[in-house]
Every structure is written in structure tokens, then in C-alpha cells.
Structure 1
Amino acid sequence: MPFALLTVVLIPVIAGSLRLLDLAGGPQLLPANPRMTASPLPVVLHIVSAVAYATLGALQFSAQLRRRRPAWHRRSGRVLVVLGLAVAFSALWMTLFYPRQPGTGELAQVFRLAFGSGMAASVVAGLAAIRRGDVAHHRAWLTRAYALALGAGTQVFTQGVGHAAFGTGTLTTDVSLGAGWAINLVVAEYVIRRWGRRARSRAAAIHPTVA
């Protein structure tokens, strides 16, 4: 699973790295974005936090790594809470205070506010769950947060399909952006429920009478 997740984030990581290079005064390999050039700090924070969160977060899905190095899992988890909140709040800040991205409309703004807030809430809920000792809900909430963070990776494909099928209008772009986050959440819920079924199956095998 970690390798599959890293594959999904590869394109956004490359694009984000090129944007950082551009903002640092390097060669301009992406189309100019005056919104970011005028106020680069939020986007730099967002890109750096997102790349680190996506990369380190993928390793948290390795069951073998969690079993062999539980202390590492806990320490990296604390770092991921900070990174996840930085990703979510920097995204919300840019949505609220940057000029609207060309080619997008009000619906995209609503999606960004809703899913950005949802990611922040999921990180906080996951932290609260593990402090109660509730591992199942901790895993579920942070899986949802990670799924939302990977929205940019899925949106590469949803926008490509949407534009090819329905053109490049504002509504198509907005719906394609929302579809990327929605697809990731559906996949996350499927994975969470599969984990639940496996846990119940193991409990039944160990304690058949109780089950």
C-alpha cells in the first residue's frame, strides 16, 4: 500500500517541487501564477507540508513497519499531526484570501472550504481517538485525513477525464475537483470497512463463543 500511495502523489509532488523552484527564483517550468508570486509564504508552507505529509503518511499504512517499529510509528504520527494541520489550514487560508484560481467558480471554493475543514477535523478526531486508546477510530479518522490530502493526485485524473469528456468550462473544472476528493473518501471508507471485517474475523477465530 505505501508504494501505491506514493505513486498517486508523484505528479503533485513533482508539480509542487517545480512551483517551489519557480518561487525561489529558478527557471519557470510551470505557467506563471501571480496569486502565488504576490504572496508566496502560504503556498510554500502548503507545498512543503503536503509533500512531507504525503510521503511520511504513506509509510504509516505499512502494517509490518508498525509492528516492527511501534516507537517510530508514534513519533512520526506526532509529526504527521502537525503537518496535516499545516496542509489543511494553509489550504483554507489560500482559499479565503488568494484571488480565485482562474477557470474555477464558486463551487470549487465551496469544495475547498468543505474538504479542507474536513481534513483538519479528521486529524483532530484521530488524535483525540488515540489519546482515548481507541485505535480503530484513530486509524479510521487519519485514513480519511490522508485521503483528503491526496486529493490533488486524484484530481489530475478526474480533471483530465472531465475536460476530455465535457470540455474545459468552469462547472466541469469545479465538479472534477470535487470528484477527486469524493473518490478518495469512497476508497478510504472501503478500506476502513475492510479493516473492520478483518478485525471481526480475527476476533471470531480467537474467541468464537464471544463472537
Structure 2
Amino acid sequence: MPAALIALSLIPVLAGTARLVELNGGPSLIPSDPRFTASPLPVVVHIVSATTYALLGALQFAPGLRSRRPGWHRASGRVLVVAGLGVAVSALWLTLFVPPQPGSGPLLFVLRLVFGPAMATALLLGVVAIRRHDVMTHRAWMTRAYAIALAAGTQAFTEGAGAALFGHSPLALDASRAAAWVVNLAVAEWAIRRHSAARGRRGGRVLAGVGRP
């Protein structure tokens, strides 16, 4: 699981790294975007936060690492909450104060206004849950937050499929990006329910064993 998540993260991470090189005065490794050069600070915050969140967050899904090094899990979790909030807040800032991407429409603008706060809310609910020692709820909300953030990687695939099927209109671009959030959250909910069901089965077997004469 962590390896697959890191592989999916590499798409936006590499693009973000190339953008940082350009903003730092280096060569343009990807097409230049004057929207970002005019307001570089929120772009840098977003890229650094997203890179940290995507790569470090993938390791949180390694059960062996969580069980063998709980101290590391807690410490990295604190870093991830800060990085995740940085992703959500900077994304909201860029949506509101930076001109929209050429070729996109109002649907994408609305979706970003929805999913930025949704990610921040999921992170905060996860923090509240773990402070109550509710590990299952904590895990569920953190999984949802990560799924929202990782949509940037999934969009590389949904955009290609959307363009092939529906063309390059603004509505097609917006819908293909929306599909990435839908797919990621659907997979996240499946994983949450699967883990909950497996935990319930294990608990049932333990209770059955205790009740035997």
C-alpha cells in the first residue's frame, strides 16, 4: 500500500518540484504559468506542504511501521496535520485569489471550494478522535483527508480518460478532475469499511473463544 501511494504521489510531486525550480530562478522544466510567478509564496507553501503530506502520509498506511514504532507514528502524524492544513489552506487561497486555470470552468472552482475545507475538517476531526482515544474514527478521518489530497495524482489519469471520451471543453476538464475526488473517496470508504469489518470478525472470534467451556 505505501509503495502504491508513493507511486501515485510522484506525479504531482515531480510537477511541483519542477515548479519550485522555476520559481527559484532555474530552468523551466514544465510550461511556465504567469499566475504562479505573480504570487509565488502560496504556491511554494502548497507544493512543500503537499510533497511532505503525500510522501510521509503514505508511510502511515504501513501497519508494521505503526505497530513497531508508535512513537514515530505519533510524531510524523503531528507533522502531517500541519502539512495537511497547509495544503488545504494554500489550495483555498490559490482558488480564491489566483486567476483560474485556462480552460477550466466554474465547476472546478466550486469543487475546490468544497474539497479544501473538507480536507481541513477531516484532519481536525481525526485529531479530535485520537485525543478521545478513538483509533478507528481517527483512522477513518485521516484516510479521507489523504484521499482528498491525493486526487492530484489520480487526476492525471481521469483527465486523460475524460479528454479521450468527452473532449477538451471546460466542463469535460472539470468533470474529469471531479472524478478523481470521487474515485479516491470511494476507495477510501471501501478501505475503511473493509478494515472495520475485519476488526469486527477478529473481535467475534476472540469472544467466541472466551465463551468456550
Equivalent in the alignment of 2:199: 199
DSSP-derived class of the 1:61 partner: coil
Measure, in 1, the Cα distance between the counterparts of 2:19 and 2:168.
23
Instruction: Indicate how the Cα distance of structure 1 residues 107 and 2 shifts in structure 2: closer, same or farther if over 3 A, else same.
Output: same
Measure, in 1, the Cα distance between the counterparts of 2:34 and 2:110.
22
Unaligned runs of 5+ in 1: none
Equivalent in the alignment of 2:30: 30
Q: Deviations over 1:4-50 (max 9, x none)?
A: 10011111111111011111110012111111000000011000100
Measure, in 1, the Cα distance between the counterparts of 2:127 and 2:58.
17
Q: Structure 1 residue 160 and structure 2 residue 160: aligned? A: yes
Tell me how many residue pairs correspond in the alignment: 211
Q: Deviations over 1:149-202 (max 9, x none)?
A: 101100000000001111111000000111111110000000000000111011
Measure, in 1, the Cα distance between the counterparts of 2:11 and 2:66.
27
Equivalent in the alignment of 2:62: 62
Letter in structure 1 aligned against 2:31: P
Which stretch shows the higher mean deviation, 139-148 or 9-18? 9-18
Following TM superposition, by how much is the alpha carbon of 1:209 offset from its aligned partner in structure 2, in angstroms? 8.0
TM-score, normalised relative to structure 1: 0.98
Instruction: Indicate how the Cα distance of structure 1 residues 61 and 41 shifts in structure 2: closer, same or farther if over 3 A, else same.
Output: same
The sequence identity of aligned pairs, in percent, is: 59
Letter in structure 1 aligned against 2:105: G
Contact 1:122 1:145 in 2 (8 A): yes
Measure, in 1, the Cα distance between the counterparts of 2:31 and 2:199.
48
Unaligned runs of 5+ in 2: none
Equivalent in the alignment of 2:42: 42
Q: Structure 1 residue 92 and structure 2 residue 99: aligned? A: no
DSSP-derived class of the 1:180 partner: helix
Measure, in 2, the Cα distance between the counterparts of 1:98 and 1:13.
21
Equivalent in the alignment of 1:79: 79
Letter in structure 2 aligned against 1:28: S
Equivalent in the alignment of 1:176: 176
Measure, in 1, the Cα distance between the counterparts of 2:10 and 2:189.
23
Measure, in 2, the Cα distance between the counterparts of 1:208 and 1:128.
33
Letter in structure 2 aligned against 1:106: P
TM-score, normalised relative to structure 2: 0.97
Measure, in 2, the Cα distance between the counterparts of 1:17 and 1:138.
31
Following TM superposition, by how much is the alpha carbon of 1:208 offset from its aligned partner in structure 2, in angstroms? 2.2
Following TM superposition, by how much is the alpha carbon of 1:134 offset from its aligned partner in structure 2, in angstroms? 0.4
Contact 1:159 1:173 in 2 (8 A): yes
Q: Which runs of 4+ in 1 moved over 3 A?
A: none
Give runs of aligned pairs for residues 6-25 of structure 1, distance below 5 A.
6-25=6-25
Following TM superposition, by how much is the alpha carbon of 1:210 offset from its aligned partner in structure 2, in angstroms? 8.9
Contact 1:95 1:113 in 2 (8 A): yes
DSSP-derived class of the 1:133 partner: coil
DSSP-derived class of the 1:165 partner: helix
Following TM superposition, by how much is the alpha carbon of 1:138 offset from its aligned partner in structure 2, in angstroms? 0.1
Instruction: Indicate how the Cα distance of structure 1 residues 34 and 197 shifts in structure 2: closer, same or farther if over 3 A, else same.
Output: same
Measure, in 1, the Cα distance between the counterparts of 2:183 and 2:166.
19
Letter in structure 2 aligned against 1:7: A
Contact 1:204 1:210 in 2 (8 A): no
